[in-house]
Amino acid sequence: MKRTLITNGTFITMDEQTPIVKGYMVVEGSRITYLGKEAPQPQEQFDEKIDGTGKLYMPGFVNTHGHAAMSLLRGYGDDMALQVWLQEKMWPMEGKFTSHDVRIGTMLSLLEMIKGGTTTFVDMYDHMNQVAEASVESGIRACLTRGVIGLCPREVQDAKLAEAIQFAKDWHGQADGRITAMMSPHGPYTCPPDYIERIVQAAHDLNLPMHTHMSETAREVQDNVDQYGLRPVAHLEKLGVFSRPTLVAHAVHLTDEEIAILKQYDVRVSHNPGSNLKLASGVARVPELLKAGVLVSLGTDGAASNNNLDMLEEIRLAALIHKGVTGDPVAVAAWDALKMGTLDGAKSIWLNDVGMLKAGMKADFIAMDMEQPHFYPRTNLISHVVYSASSRDVTDVCIDGRFVVRKGECLTMDEEKVKFEAQQCFERLTAG
């Protein structure tokens, strides 16, 4: 088992007891076995020693909602009304996606995410075998789910559900546990109630959590009321979704009662501020969710509605927009935003040994170059990361004890090939 020692490092641990440690970290195999001020003895026992001078180490980012393959549509349709964007731009193109497109689009996203410090991501899409295989190759940690849309004949519903079940059976726990699975009705507005109930049953049978879009737009909430007489939270509660551990994406439009229900069932919320702003969906009630004790994490959503997969940008948005919109300068503090993007992201997908630098935790961490001017003076490093830094400051990325990025270069993927193939896919998709 490989033993690595990092010396002279500065570590943001995400452990509230010791948020910042200057000193040493030891990685053995896939786990951190030591973090502290004192050098471990004897130093000869290490296979590799890394000088951490000038580097800021912290847990990798956990991106809790996205559709990686949609990076093929980055910039293809911006600044338009949601329905026009969906109906004229996204859906026709996505309808043409082959499994090859999904593989290449996912690779492009993985490259961007990994280089930018994301060490775990959630993905809900189609052709999920391609997504899982690309994830394994890249070295990333992934929580994957075949999102099913149920607005189709019963036999198509059946086939999709069977596919989702098979995917979960095939992949949950694979790649030394780096891959986990969830079950996903795409959303209450795209799945009939009985179909959602069948998906919940499958999740019970497989003992897996649920992931779904929920209350992203005001219109969707109103449509739910018109169609079912209930707002989405009560609707999903009624269908038994929350009887499973659940992660919902967006949750922009919530009443106080709905927040209380989410808390009651320990439903986790993936807040996607960049996507919600860009699509003009609104600003989620994050301060109220936090106050109620709901576990909130951060997601980029797909690159077509963001338009990048930069978790540090989501962390910054989460720290900034709620202050500006509520008028409360302490609405979401830097530490809280950083926690949403790391430790709470991991907890949100039931990973209890990810998201913190501490002996016993998985070695999922990043190093940032602290020698950029925006890291000076050295007042408050947590503040610097949240309000000043760039994901391009990330120089090294380690996932499950394996370095996948060093000196800014991705070691697990051929960057030139991925970009070239992504461009080819896009040109083929738009050619006809």
List binders of its own copies among 141-200 (CB under 8 A).
Answer: none
- Is 94 among the annotated ligand-binding positions? yes
Stretch that binds its own copies, among 107-115, 173-181, 204-212, 264-272 (CB under 8 A): 107-115
- Is 301 among the annotated ligand-binding positions? yes
Q: DSSP alpha helices (H): ranges in 239-310?
A: 256-264, 273-278, 286-292
Q: Which residues of 226-247 are buried (b: 16+ CB within 10 A; e: fewer)?
A: eebeebbbbbbbebbbbebbbb
The answer to whether 148 touches 164, Cβ cutoff 8 Å, is yes
- Is 31 among the annotated ligand-binding positions? no
The distance of Cα 228 from the centroid of its chain, to the nearest Å, equals 31
CA–CA distance, 413 with 415 (Å, rounded to integer): 6
Q: Which of residues 398-427 bind its own copies (CB under 8 A)?
A: 415, 418-419, 422-423, 425-427
The distance of Cα 274 from the centroid of its chain, to the nearest Å, equals 13
Out of 310, 344, 364, 400, point to the residue binding its own copies (CB under 8 A).
310
The residue among 143, 132, 139 whose CA lies nearest residue 170 is 132
Number of residues this chain uses to bind its own copies (CB under 8 A)? 73
321 binds its own copies (CB under 8 A): yes
Q: Which residue has the tokens 């699509």?
A: 279
Stretch that binds its own copies, among 130-138, 151-159, 253-261, 309-317 (CB under 8 A): 309-317
Minimum separation from the CB atom of position 273 to its own copies (A): 8
Stretch that binds its own copies, among 4-12, 200-208, 231-239, 303-311 (CB under 8 A): 303-311
Residues in contact with its own copies, shown as a per-residue x/- string from 343 to 372 under the rule CB under 8 A: ----------------------------xx
Q: Quickly list DSSP for 200-213.
A: HHHHHHHT--EEEE
CA–CA distance, 294 with 386 (Å, rounded to integer): 22
Return the half-sphere exposure (C-beta side, CA atoms, 13 A cut-off) of residue 38: 3
Nearer to its own copies, 225 or 277 (CB): 277
Q: Are strands 118-125 and 402-406 parallel, antiparallel or unpaired?
A: unpaired
Out of 39, 100, 326, 411, point to the residue binding its own copies (CB under 8 A).
326
Report the alpha-carbon angle 400-167-421, nearest 5. 70
230 binds its own copies (CB under 8 A): no
Nearer to its own copies, 31 or 392 (CB): 392
Q: DSSP alpha helices (H): ranges in 213-367?
A: 218-228, 232-238, 256-264, 273-278, 286-292, 311-326, 334-341, 343-348
Q: Which of residues 65-104 bind its own copies (CB under 8 A)?
A: 71-76, 78-82, 85
Minimum separation from the CB atom of position 431 to its own copies (A): 13
Stretch that binds its own copies, among 119-127, 166-174, 261-269, 384-392 (CB under 8 A): 384-392
- Is 186 among the annotated ligand-binding positions? yes
- Is 65 among the annotated ligand-binding positions? yes
282 binds its own copies (CB under 8 A): yes
324 binds its own copies (CB under 8 A): yes
Instruction: List, as residue ranges, the binding site for Zn(2+).
Output: 65, 67, 213, 301
Known binding-site residue numbers: 65, 67, 94, 146, 186, 213, 216, 301
Binding-site entries for substrate: 94, 146, 186, 216, 301
